[in-house]
Amino acid sequence: MKKVAILVDGEWFRRRLEIALKGCLPHGVTAEVMYKNALLALAQDEELFRLFYYDCPPYQGKETNPIDKSTVDFRALKKFQSRSLFLSEMKAKDFVALRLGVARNRGWTLTDGYIRRAIAGTPPNPPLASDVFLALEQKGVDMRIGIDVATLTLKKIVDRVILISGDTDMIPAMKLARREGVQGNRRSVLPPRNVPLQAPRRGHRPCPDYQARPLSATTGLRRLAQARCR
């Protein structure tokens, strides 16, 4: 059996699962749904060493809406509670190692709906409090993925590394793994939508779900998910 590490870009995978399993997730993407679908990446000759899950905790600050000057306590929001519960449940799963970055405040910005109305020439004037939102950005996640890939590879901890992510910034780290003789980076980095997959290269393990032919990220993920929406 080949010892395998699965590295999951949590926010990216969650969004792709929402698309792939649309209509059969009454409670959204739960920790159980995320965990089961990530494990589908394993082949029959592979055993899980660790599932590294990368995400960031929910934003906890208090911010003032620039339109109506109301104070928004993000800790009091339902989204904060559900996000905290998700991370807690994910951490309790077998073989899961949580890797958390931080959510950085990037300031208030107009919603897509308001911008579309503005382009169409029919925005409310001035914008309402509901027409702005606090933009948040994940920081530190890519760095943690890169460090773990390098550590797993250079210390020969695993035979294969499977990366579930659409971030092309991870390609150099996966190339390092291939150069060091670690397999599994052939189909793990899914491309952005409508970007075809390339043919497998030396050191890449073929995968039934991701054949070497044009395939969008969403289509490939739907096969990976296999309607695991319980």
pLDDT at 174 over 90: no
User: In the numeric block, which tokens belong to residue 28?
Assistant: 């959204």
- Cross-strand bridge partners of residue 5: 50, 161
167 in Cβ contact with 13 (< 8 Å):
no
Calculate mean pLDDT across residues 200-221: 36
- Could you please state the CATH topology (level 3) that the domain comprising 2-60+73-102+139-225 is classified under: Rossmann fold (3.40.50)
Each residue's pLDDT tens digit, 98-155: 999 999 999 999 999 988 888 888 766 788 899 999 999 989 898 999 999 999 999 9
Per-residue DSSP letter, 189 = B
Per-residue DSSP letter, 68 = T
110 in Cβ contact with 132 (< 8 Å):
yes
138 in Cβ contact with 11 (< 8 Å):
yes
Calculate mean pLDDT across residues 92-96: 95
Q: What is the per-residue pLDDT for 215?
A: 26
Q: What is the per-residue pLDDT for 121?
A: 81
